[in-house]
Amino acid sequence: MAGAGGKTRQAARSSGGVMLIASILVLSVRSFARAQDFGYDGAKGPSHWGEQYNSCTGKHQSPININSLDVKKVNLPPLVFHGFDVAPKETNLTNNGHTVFVTMDSEVTPTVAGGPLSGVYEYSQLHFHWGDNDTFGSEDMIDNHRFPMELHIVFFKQEYQNARTALNHPDGLTVLAFFFEIAPEDNPMYAEFIELLGNVTESHQSARFDVPPSLKELIAEDLLHYYTYDGSLTTPPCSEVVTWIDFKEPILLSHAQVQAFRALQDEEGHPLTHNFRPVQPLGDRVVLFNTDEMIKEVDLDKDLPPEAGEGVDTNKLDTPIKAAGVGSQSAKDPNDRKHPRNGAPFPSVNHWSLLTSAMVVVTLLFQSTIE
């Protein structure tokens, strides 16, 4: 995405304030299971994960195939991003044998709130998934289409203190997911990132950014249109504690930039050419799509509509109607996580209509008596 260059990042990095640790977790959420316990091929592949991790056979697993014709369009409250435009003091890139992930020390810890989330979520780490070639590699699919690569930015709910503890709560984590598409030119925002991949070819190698990028520089510009659903980690232990937010607009990288990821090696020294889990059944879950279109919801239980000129201005997108929407259903209530979020009350009969019908019948009977 277009953004400030190295000089702007250096300026942001030098801003004052008390330094906070944005992530002390040297191990990623992906590494809560021991590295040798899973892989993407053979006896350690995804089809065998459930043999050691019961959660991997759960009914609300990720990734999924999102059918854009079956999603429920909603107007959720705006997502609130804090610290995404501040360059970290220090950023490290690490190959853990399953992916390459990024941790950072920052003066301002990035957080996200709003949208489908209840509470504030704090940055833990980000990592990538890719495939053997440019025709597949992402984990979630849109209309049966796989993208060549996918970025996952992992956040834990602040009240749970850290990502590991958050695994014990149904609303413990949220993942901001971004898809990649192939472009004819290199993306300059990923230039140093791609260069550092050459220094972490082998598993457990790390490298440090000379000019750490802000999160804003690594993601897409459109943060309004996204799909969201309740799911799981996509690696063991496959805990079903993740609110997924998949942004519609892809990030653009060149073929050469994506190809650099395929040069990394796994735990056994083999080329890490693909590291994505197959899609899982959607089950009884409902995928929401956040849009800026006005979603008109009529409450059939109401006797009369409000008079014109009173109440909310339905011509404005930033009215309370938009904020109420489906988001007011508290999708993050643990008691509601496993149930479809598009349930609606059975329409009731308007008693004004019944009264009108009764009056007509009485009138006809009275007339027939007179005749």
Mind telling me the catalytic residues?
A: 98
**DSSP state at residue 106:** B
Contacts of 339 (CB under 8 A, 6+ apart): 284
Residue 3 is encoded by which pair of tokens?
A: 């953004």
Residues 6+ away with beta carbon under 8 Å from 226: 115, 245, 246, 247, 248, 289, 290
47: which 2 tokens? 């089809």
CA atoms of 104 and 90, how far apart (whole Å): 6
Joined together, the tokens standing for residue 45 give 């592949």
Roughly how many angstroms between the first and final C-alpha of the chain, as a whole number? 82
CB 123 within 8 A of CB 141: no
Pairing mode, strands 100-105 and 79-82: unpaired
| Alpha carbons within 13 A on the beta-carbon side of 313 | 5
List Cα–Cα distances, 125 to 27, 88, 122, 251, 367, in angstroms. 9, 13, 10, 18, 80
What are the two backbone dihedrals, phi and then psi, of residue 214, each rounded to the nearest 5 degrees?
-80, 160
Cα distance between residue 322 and residue 309, in whole Å: 18
Q: Which residue has the tokens 């070639």?
A: 133
- Backbone torsions φ then ψ of 368, nearest 5 degrees: -65, -30
Cβ contact 174:242 at 8 Å: yes
